[in-house]
C-alpha cells in the first residue's frame, strides 16, 4: 500500500510517497481502506516537529479518516468488514490503509460522502466539545470566533448557530468573512483592518461577548479577553498566529471571566464517551442538514504536502481533504 511518509522533521515538501507493508489489525483495532483524510493545522506542526505529539519515524501525518473496513481485530464487534466508517487517531491517516482504534471508529450513514465524514471529527469535534462542554454556550448568548473561515473556526460558526447563539465571525480578508456569512455568521469583523474591541463594543451595545473561540492566539487573545461580558468564557484552542499569548491574571479576576483550555485529542484518553457522543451528535446534525461541513478543496495523496502547506500559508478556507 502507498503511504505519505515523514522520515525526519522538516517542511511538508520533504514528505515522500512510498510503498509500505500492509499489517493486520491487532486486538481492539480496525483496518480501514482510507478513502479520505481530513487535513488539520496540527498535521503541519507534527511534520515540522512543532506539535505536542512527536511520532517515531517514519510516520504518515493525518489524524482523521473515512473509508471502508477491511478487517477487524480480536474483540471488535460494533463494525464489520465492508462497512463505511470514520475514525481518528494520533497519526497515520495519509495512507491507503491504516489500523485505527475500534473505540474511536464509528459507522457513517450511507448518505454521508467520505470527504465530509473525514472533515467532521477534529474540526467539528473540537468546536462542539469546546462550545457545549467546556464553554457551556447557551442559546441567546453571543459567540465570537477568531480564524472563523478556517477549519475549526467555520465549524464553531456552524455549531454556534445550531446552539442558538449570535455569532460574530472574525477573519483577515473580505472573502473569508463572506464565507463565514454563507454558513450563518450574524456579524463580521476584519481583524487586519478594523479595531476588534471597538467593533465588539458597537455590535454588543457595550455588553461584550459571552464566549470567545480562539484558534489564533497572539495579540487578539488579550483584546478579546478584555471584550468579554460578565462571566464570559475565553476558549483557548490554538495559536496559528505563531504566538502563545501571556494572559494577565488580573483580567479574569476583575471581569469574573474564565480562561478555559480545550484539548480535543485528550478526550480519547480521559473521557472517550464524551468525544464519541459528540461525534454521534454531529453526524445526526449533518444528516438533519443543520450543519454543512463544507469541504472547500480536495487533493490527491500525491499532492498531500500541498494540502498541508495551504493551511500553513493561510490560503485554505473551511476544510481541506486528501482523497485516497
CB of 20 to ligand NAP, least distance (A): 26
Confirm or reject binding of residue 309 to ligand NAP (CB under 6 A). Answer: no
Q: What is the CA radius of gyration of the chain?
A: 19
* Cα separation, 88 vs 44, whole angstroms: 17
Confirm or reject binding of residue 41 to ligand NAP (CB under 6 A). Answer: yes
The residue among 83 and 173 lying less far from ligand NAP, judged by its C-beta, is 173
**Could you say which of 92, 147, 232, 245 contacts ligand NAP (CB under 6 A)?**
147
Which residue is nearest to ligand NAP, using beta carbons?
A: 150
Half-sphere exposure of 118 (CA within 13 A, CB side): 30
Confirm or reject binding of residue 204 to ligand NAP (CB under 6 A). Answer: no
**Could you say which of 25, 61, 93, 150 contacts ligand NAP (CB under 6 A)?**
150
**Could you say which of 15, 34, 42, 185 contacts ligand NAP (CB under 6 A)?**
42
Cβ atoms within 10 Å of 308's Cβ, excluding its own: 31
Burial of 225 (0-12, 13-18, 19+ CB in 10 A): buried
Confirm or reject binding of residue 9 to ligand NAP (CB under 6 A). Answer: no
* Cα separation, 129 vs 136, whole angstroms: 9
In sequence order, what are the residues at sequence separation of 6 or more whose Cβ sits closer than 8 angstroms to the Cβ of residue 254? none
- Extract the C-alpha cell encoding 178: 463572506
Per-residue mark of binding to ligand NAP, 263-282 (x: CB under 6 A): xxx-----------------
Phi, psi of 254 (to 5 degrees): -70, -25
The residue among 264 and 285 lying less far from ligand NAP, judged by its C-beta, is 264
The residue among 4 and 171 lying less far from ligand NAP, judged by its C-beta, is 171
Distance between first and last Cα of the chain: 11
CB of 227 to ligand NAP, least distance (A): 17
Q: Is the dihedral of CA 209, 210, 215, 221 positive or negative?
A: positive
Phi, psi of 5 (to 5 degrees): -120, 135
**Could you say which of 86, 118, 123, 156 contacts ligand NAP (CB under 6 A)?**
123
CA-nearest of 153, 71, 125 to 319 is 153
> Could you give the angle at the alpha carbon of 246 between the alpha carbons of 243 and 247, nearest 5°?
135
Confirm or reject binding of residue 172 to ligand NAP (CB under 6 A). Answer: yes
Contacts for 17-24: CB closer than 8 Å, 24+ residues apart: 17/301, 17/302, 20/95, 22/97, 23/99, 24/71, 24/73
- 29-37, 85-93, 144-152, 269-277 -> range binding ligand NAP (CB under 6 A): 144-152
CB of 108 to ligand NAP, least distance (A): 20
**Could you say which of 34, 104, 171, 185 contacts ligand NAP (CB under 6 A)?**
171
Size of the site for ligand NAP (CB under 6 A): 31
CB of 252 to ligand NAP, least distance (A): 19
**Could you say which of 241, 258, 296, 297 contacts ligand NAP (CB under 6 A)?**
241
Q: Catalog residues that contact ligand NAP under the rule CB under 6 A.
A: 40-42, 122-123, 126, 147, 149-153, 171-172, 176, 215-216, 237-242, 262-265, 311-312, 314, 316
Amino acid at each position: 500500500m502507498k503511504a505519505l511518509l515523514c522520515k525526519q522533521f522538516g517542511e511538508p515538501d520533504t514528505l515522500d510517497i512510498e510503498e509500505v507493508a500492509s499489517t493486520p489489525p491487532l486486538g481492539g483495532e480496525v483496518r480501514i481502506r482510507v478513502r479520505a483524510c481530513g487535513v488539520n493545522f496540527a498535521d503541519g506542526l507534527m511534520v515540522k516537529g512543532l506539535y505536542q505529539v512527536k511520532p517515531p519515524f517514519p510516520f504518515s501525518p493525518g489524524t482523521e479518516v473515512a473509508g471502508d473496513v477491511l478487517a477487524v481485530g480480536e474483540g471488535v464487534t460494533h463494525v464489520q468488514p465492508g462497512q463505511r466508517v470514520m475514525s481518528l487517531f494520533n497519526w497515520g491517516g495519509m495512507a491507503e490503509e491504516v489500523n485505527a482504534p475500534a473505540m474511536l471508529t464509528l459507522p457513517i450513514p450511507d448518505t454521508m460522502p467520505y470527504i465530509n465524514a473525514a472533515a467532521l471529527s477534529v474540526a467539528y469535534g473540537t468546536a462542539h466539545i469546546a462550545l457545549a462542554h467546556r464553554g457551556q454556550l447557551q442559546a441567546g448568548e453571543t459567540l465570537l470566533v477568531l480564524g472563523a473561515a478556517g477549519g475549526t473556526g467555520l465549524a464553531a460558526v456552524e455549531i454556534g448557530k445550531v446552539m442558538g447563539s449570535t455569532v460574530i465571525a472574525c477573519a483577515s480578508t473580505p472573502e473569508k468573512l463572506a464565507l463565514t456569512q454563507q454558513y450563518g455568521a450574524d456579524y463580521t469583523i476584519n481583524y487586519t483592518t478594523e479595531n476588534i474591541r471597538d467593533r465588539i463594543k458597537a455590535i454588543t451595545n457595550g455588553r461584550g461577548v459571552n464566549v470567545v473561540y480562539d484558534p489564533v492566539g497572539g495579540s487578539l487573545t488579550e483584546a478579546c479577553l478584555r471584550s468579554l461580558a460578565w462571566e464570559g468564557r475565553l476558549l483557548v484552542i490554538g495559536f496559528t498566529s505563531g504566538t502563545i499569548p501571556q494572559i494577565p491574571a488580573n483580567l479574569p479576576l476583575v471581569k469574573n471571566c474564565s480562561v478555559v483550555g480545550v484539548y480535543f485529542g485528550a478526550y480519547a484518553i480521559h473521557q472517550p464517551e464524551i468525544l464519541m457522543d459528540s461525534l454521534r451528535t454531529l453526524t445526526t446534525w449533518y444528516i438533519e442538514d443543520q450543519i454543512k461541513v463544507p469541504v472547500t478543496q480536495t487533493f490527491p495523496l500525491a499532492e498531500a504536502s500541498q494540502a498541508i502547506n495551504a493551511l500553513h500559508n493561510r490560503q485554505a478556507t473551511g476544510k481541506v481533504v486528501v482523497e485516497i
